[in-house]
Structure 1
Amino acid sequence: MKLKLQGKILLLTLGTVTLIFASLISFIAFKVHQATLDGTKSLVEETAQSAAYAISAEIDEGLITTEALAKIISGMDRQSPNARQNLLKMIECVLEETPLAFTTWVAFEPNAFDGMDAMYIERDGFHETGRFMATLVKRGNQVQRSYDMTESMLSTEGNGDFYLLPKRSGKSEIMNPYYYNYTGQKNDEEFITSLATPIFIDGRVAGVVGMDIDLAAVQNIVKNLKIVGNGVASLYANDGTTVYHKDANLIGKNMAMRNDLENMGSIAESIKKGQFMATVGHSAALGEEAYKIYSPIKFGASTTAWSLNILVPMSHVQKAAIVMVRNMIIAAAIGMLLLAVIILWITRSIVRPINGVSKMLQQFGNLDFTKDTSLIWLERYMTKSKDEIAEMLHSMASLQSNLTAMVENLQEEAENFGSSAEALAALSEESVASMEEVKASVDQVATLSETTSAAVEETNAGVEEVSSSASSAAKSATEGAEATARTTQRSEQATQEVNIAVEEIRNIGLQSKETAASMNAVSEAVETITRFVTTIQTIADQTNLLALNAAIEAARAGDAGRGFAVVAEEVRKLAEESSKAAGEVETLISNLQSQTKNALTSMGKVDGVVEQTITRSEKAKAQLQEAMREIAQVNDIMQSIAATAQEQAASSEEMAAGIDQVTQSTVQIVQSVEAIRQSSEETAKAGEQVATESQGLSEGAERLKATMAKFKVDKRNTTKALSKIAE
């Protein structure tokens, strides 16, 4: 079905607007939906990160304490009679000052603490080997010593990981949570994790110090989290052990034992590597689709990470987005309906005058420019409206008036074309005859010009041969003079270089003597530096002793002296480095003294060589000056020869240039005559074409008369009416 203009406008406008609206609403709805989802997800992730920081802070406090304790132990006096008791008092003080700690403990390698394990066999609470290992347990407001740590425990994989792992890695470690009792009774089990830090003595791991942390405070942080949409949270250790879950029966069990978790392998891998993970899937805990995140929790410098799991129902996540999208669709539908009504009214007001214009154009297409009484309303439209259609109607009125006048003028001009064409044909024939005569005269002039040009070219060739010979002689003489001049210049440069070399050698001799004096001064300065290095070594030894005494006093001060103990340890290390650096400087100074003596011996030999070189350079300078005088005589002779040859070449070149100008002028005359001849031929051809076209023009005038007779022009009615409209 073919649509009218109004139907096409409605179809295209409404179709385009509907498509744009639908695309825009879809895009906005998608973006709003996505933004709402992203906002909710970001809120959940921020909640997880905030909780992760709180959990990390609880654990990090214990790690910082064990690391500080390890440094203090490394710097304490382990050879004093009460060293072991002092250390036990130190870790007891730490236990009392750490609220989350159940126990503090320490264990050393055999004889690694004081080298006196044999003296403590079955004595002061130590076992059958006398090895230093001890555990202090907090019971109410009292601290008691426990003897649960044994030799076999420290050497067994799994049970002894709290000791073996930091010993092997050389870094602080946080153990995976486990149930443990210190009394041997099942009812006394506590859910704990162990924080362990290696103790370095003389650059190697000599033992491990640590504490067992109560996880109740960490569990309360997770339990009290406020999560959007009634979401739930869980906490997992690095190996997948459940630290907290709303189902208390799952605490302490590994997540791998559960069958209600999707993507178990990926989750366990991300937890182990300490990576963030987010996914959407079914949640058994919520009984519906949920947004799941696993946010890593890192502790101090330890590479072991835990993971906080948060589940949020997708129904809550998508609820706000769905409501917003639905409201947008309803508003868009109402807007489209109103837009359709407005577009229908606009198209009708536009199409009606266009239909009137179309009817007038059909009449004009039939060459009928008479007035149509059914279109009188268009006159009112042109008067009231100022839009493009009114402008089009004004233009059509002007077109009708102008075409009527043009048709009359064309009819008059057609009558005149015939006589003008005949007169033009006669004139063209006369022009052709005249151009034939001009062409014959031009051909004769061209023949004479070519003969003259050939004679001049032969003369020019002879003169060029003479000029070429003279130029060659002048060139050879000039090159000889230039070569002699270059030889003179190079000889002068050689003389200057010899003079410079003599001066440089003399300077070398002076510098050699100055260097010898400087080397003697360096030798004396080295002796002074040696005395300074000895003084630095003495100061470093005394500083080392003072740092050691400060560490002992800090250990006795307990928790209040921890910071001072760290500073004392750093001072001791600086003292050792200063002593080591002083020894290296002393070795370098010894080598410098030896090299200085060798340099003084070499400088004496250089002085003799310099004197011999100066004598030989003076002889070479005299010989070069004699050669310069002889080269100057040769140069004068060569310049005289070159001047004579150049004068002869210049005269020959002037003669050749004059003849060459004559040749060029003759050639230009020949070319001009040839151009005139060609122009004459073209003019004759053009005259013939003009005669032919004149005949065609006469025939065209007859056809024009027949065509103009087809126009219907009512000058009395049509022109008057439309001229009024045009005004």
Structure 2
Amino acid sequence: MSSIEHMRKSNTYKKNTLMVVTMSISLVAALTLSIAQGEGFNTGIYSTELLCLWLSYFILQKALKKPNILPSIFIWTVYLFCLVSIIFDSSTLDVMIILLFLTVYSAIHLHTKIFLQGFILGLITVIANLMMAAPEQEVIRAIFPTYMLVYLLMGVIFYVIIHLSNQQDKKIEELLIQSEEETQRKEAQKTQLEDSVTSITENIESASEHLQTHLNAQKEMASTIHEISMGSQSQTEQISEIAESTKGTRSRAQEVYQTSTSLYEESNEAKNLAYDGQDRIQTLSSHIYNLEKMIQSLNETFGVLTEKIEETNTFADSIKDITEQTNLLALNASIEAARAGDAGSGFAVVADEIRKLADVTGQTTEKITKNLVELNKSNQEAIHKMGQSEETIKDSVSSSNDVTGYFEHITTTLQNLNHGLKSFTELAEMVENQSNGVESSTNDLAAIIEQTSASLEEMNATVDTLSNDHQKLSELMEETSRQATAITERF
């Protein structure tokens, strides 16, 4: 039920109650007067009329809940009883006054149809009162024209009042309808606003959760970058130690090269005696040359930390092999010098120097190897390619072993010693070249690690800045979510 219908129904109930109460008061007053004057007919009429009014009121309005037909029943009832009183009693001036009251009574509902019913019934009753007047009641006939004029004017006045009231009621109803429509529209807007705010709040909460996840990931990333940066600093220190060791190895290798060159010049006359071993030396040189080419190729392709480490491992293994060969050559030279007696004393001195140099080289190589082992722990990703280099080195070692075996067959001759010195000279030169390569590689590696550390620090700073921005954005989104929730609660 709309508010307008509810208002109409409530108004009808109230006006029906007003009609029955007003008429009851009038009838009770008339009944009291009739009883006081001893008018039995009027007493019965008023009592019956009062009873009919209240029965109609309770049955239709209270029991059946049909108040709309009750005003017409009230009007018909009072006018019919008035006609009965005129017909069966007499025509009096009192009836004419009562009819004016009933005209006002018919206008209580301010309803045109109800008023017209009462007005027409009143007009009929006025005419009936005139026709039923006795000859001696000249007063009724004398005032009838004036009374009719007054009655008609009252009817016109009440009709105009009722018409204006109905127009006003229509406008009020239109305003109420507009108000209801506006209320419904605002309610729909409120619902839509609540839904929108709820959706925005949910989206903000979801975005805040994702942002918090990203913030945690960035914190973990910053921690990881910091750990990598610390590892890079440690690697830089290790590379610096390797570079220092490589400088010492290069210096010793230069001394070995100079000594072996001098010895080779003194024993150059015996080179033809070792012609057969020269082919093996050439084979060994070819393998080592291929190894050098492979390492150079690795130097060109390996632009990152793993490549430099592989090159360093390869050079360290090569130095270790050469050191072993140097020890073996020094041992062979000592044996040959012992067999030669006084004639081989010079070779014994050289062999002793070579052995000392080999020991120094071995110690240096062990230190390099130790540092490389520590460095290799954090660079396992380069194992695969280093394996390929190791296979090539193994081939070179195999060839070197063949050469060593060949030297064992010619140790009884000075020519074999000359050939061994020549090989040692070439190996010393290779050690020097490899030492230069190791130094260059370690310097490049140190520069790369330093640059990487700087980049990691910049990245760490960027991640910190981004994390701070995300933290501020998360706080802003939480505040927005709280405000949206507050808006929803206010509505």
TM-score range, shorter chain: under 0.3
Larger Rg: 2
Greater fraction of residues in strand: 1
Q: Normalising by structure 2, what TM-score?
A: 0.26
Higher helix share: 2
